[in-house]
Every structure is written in C-alpha cells, then in structure tokens.
Amino acid sequence: MLTEEFAGRVVTWFRKNGRILPWRVGRDPYRIWISEIMLQQTRIEAVIPYYHRFLEELPSLSELAVCDSDRLMKLWEGLGYYSRARNLKRAAEAAVEKFGGTLPRDAALLRSLPGIGEYTAGAISSIAFGLPEPAVDGNVLRVVARVTADPRDVLLASTKKDVTEALRLIYPTGQAAGDLTEGIMELGERVCLPNGTPLCESCPLKELCLSRKENLWEAIPYRAPKAQRRIVPMTVFLLEKDGGFALRRRGETGLLAGLWEFYSVERALTKRELPEYLAPLGADMASLTDLGKKKHVFTHVEWHMHAYRVRVSSLPQGFSLHGAEEIGDSLALPTAFKPFYEKIKKAV
C-alpha cells in the first residue's frame, strides 16, 4: 500500500536531486504540455534541441493553433509518432475556441482535448497547476509495482488504473504535486532502473520497498510476453521525372498519417517482376538504380524495404513531383524513407 511517507520521501529527494531541464524553468502549462508530448517514447537528451526549436517557432498556444501543418510536421520530423504533432495543433485550436487560448485548470477538461489522455492531463495538472492528479507512465508503474511488490502485469489497463487510484489518495497539492509527479518519474529513470540492477542503496524509498526486502526486482514489474511484430515486405520506388521525385501525402489516419511517401508496393518484388509494375508509368529501365535494402521497426510492424530509383514518363495517380531540396526543407518524410532520400540527394 502506498503511504504519504512514500510521497514525502520522493518530493524531498526530487527537490535535492532533480535535474535542471528547460521545461522545469517556470511552470508554464503550454511549455509543460509540449515537453510531455515530446518526452513520450523519446529520451530527454534527444528532446531538448527539438523543444527549443519548437518553442522558438511556436512560443504560444495561439501561434500553434494557426501554424502551417507542413511547418509543424517539419518541426516534429525525427521525433516520430507524427499523430502527436497533429493532435497538438488540434488541441490548440480547440483550446482557443473553448478556453480562450489557454489550457484549462482541470484534468477532465484537459482530457477533452485531442491527444491529451490520462497521463498528459495528470502531468499538466500537477506540474503546471499544482493539482493532486497523478501521471502514470512506465517509470511510475515500475517504482510503485516494486515498492508494493505488485505481481500483476503492468501492461494491463486495470493495473494502471489501480496504481493511479492508489497514488491519487496520497497526492499533495501545490508545488509538491508537480514535484511528486516529476520525482517518481525521475527516480524510475535514474535509480529504480528499467534495465539492470536498481540502485536500491541510493533510493529514498529503500526502507519502504517490499521488492528490495524480498529481492524481487528481477520479477517485478511483470509483463506478459508480447505478440510478435508483423513483417511487411515492401518495394519502394523513387520515381523521377523532369528532375523531381514522385511523392504523395499519406491519409489522415493510420500509420504515419499525413506524412509524405514514395510510391511503394507491399511485396518483395524480384528484379524480373519490376517491369510489370513500372511499364504502365513509362519507366526507363536503363536508368534503374538499386538503392539497397533497409529495415524499419514500428511498434507492431516491421517494414523490410528494397528501394529503386527509376526515371518515368508519367506518375501514378495521386502523386506529384517535388525537388530533392524541397523534400529536405519543407516536406515531412517518415524516418523509414530517409536513408533512400539521402542517397538520391547525394546523387542529384
């Protein structure tokens, strides 16, 4: 069971040991929101330059609400999970419309905005507004599961819900609320390590921790084995015409929604099969260049790609031509296609 002593120890530890990070200067809800979205699945060190660049270009929620979508995608390029950037803009538009251009001081209202779920609403509420709202991520689940020696699967929604409720009962208000949120996360990241032996001797929770007492840290947190990723073989064509390359924007939903893509076929085509797919485009097979193979891993899918550059006289439906420079400067290309783009850019 979690106690107020747990909360007090974490807050004291954080005030003494917490790292100085750009989004910890001041308690501006907009800045905290942007940092929290960027930090989901990306390391702190990698986020810092993106964070500065983003806020230099879009320093306020109202500027984000009216920014150009391609510019936004470009600012996000490399962070992955582009739907998060799209949701930022949609949420900013909604906040302008419904809340006068600010984020609401209420977790339920925050959750009504696109892309703001339990975790982000809890982080903004506690860190920016000092409300007693937990924000439970993987670090928090690990620390709590270990302290309480909870044997349940931490990936289950029911476990997360129970941990959130247990924390809510002991959450302080004011500055301590934010310090507890950031403190548990940082403790999970730096002391109660995800991979490798936790640094129990440096942990402020060592006297309370049941996993330490019973030497359970290898078994907890428990995770049920994951389903295997789906492998998608893919042949990618960098179709070239009049000095430009054929691209189209992906649909508004699904994997890599709204980003730009080259023409591709979800099959590993042999060289003998290529003309069959390229002949309708008036392909000049003499110009065909093999750009090699790459694998790109997403959460549930792996793309096994083989790419070719080829000159054509017409484009597939829905595609338009773009110069190599334009692609680099203003179109958001998924990381998966970047190695092939880099090859053509060098060769242009």
Residue matched to tokens 């924390």: 167
Q: Say whether 227 sits in a helix, a strand or coil.
A: coil
In the complex, what is the shortest distance from the CB of residue 63 to ligand SF4, in angstroms, rounded to a whole number?
A: 41
Q: Does 200 bind ligand SF4 (CB under 6 A)?
A: yes
Q: What are phi and psi of 261, to 5 degrees?
A: -140, 155
The string of DSSP letters for 140-206 reads HHHHHHHHHT--SBTTSHHHHHHHHHHHHHH---THHHHHHHHHHHHHHHHTS-SSS---GGG-TTT
Window 125-154: contact mask with ligand SF4 (x via CB under 6 A): ------------------x--xx-------
Gap between the Cα atoms of 134 and 182, Å rounded: 10
Number of residues that bind ligand SF4 (CB under 6 A): 15
Q: Does 212 bind ligand SF4 (CB under 6 A)?
A: yes
Q: Which stretch binds ligand SF4 (CB under 6 A): 90-98, 164-172, 205-213, 323-331?
A: 205-213
Closest of 176, 200, 163 to residue 8, by C-alpha: 176
Q: Does 217 bind ligand SF4 (CB under 6 A)?
A: yes
Identity of the residue, 218 or 242, whose beta carbon is nearer to ligand SF4 in the bound complex: 218
Identity of the residue, 92 or 203, whose beta carbon is nearer to ligand SF4 in the bound complex: 203
In the complex, what is the shortest distance from the CB of residue 209 to ligand SF4, in angstroms, rounded to a whole number?
A: 3
Question: Binder to ligand SF4 among 35, 148, 159, 211 (CB under 6 A)?
Answer: 211
36 given a catalytic annotation: yes
Q: Which stretch binds ligand SF4 (CB under 6 A): 8-16, 193-201, 236-244, 265-273?
A: 193-201
Question: Binder to ligand SF4 among 111, 168, 206, 250 (CB under 6 A)?
Answer: 206
Gap between the Cα atoms of 317 and 340, Å rounded: 22
- Hey, what amino acid is at 133? E
Task: Decide: 159 and 222 in contact? Cβ < 8 Å.
Answer: no
Task: Decide: 310 and 269 in contact? Cβ < 8 Å.
Answer: no
In the complex, what is the shortest distance from the CB of residue 197 to ligand SF4, in angstroms, rounded to a whole number?
A: 9
- The binding site for ligand SF4 (CB under 6 A) comprises 143, 146-147, 191-192, 198-200, 203, 205-206, 209, 211-212, 217
The residues that are catalytic are 36
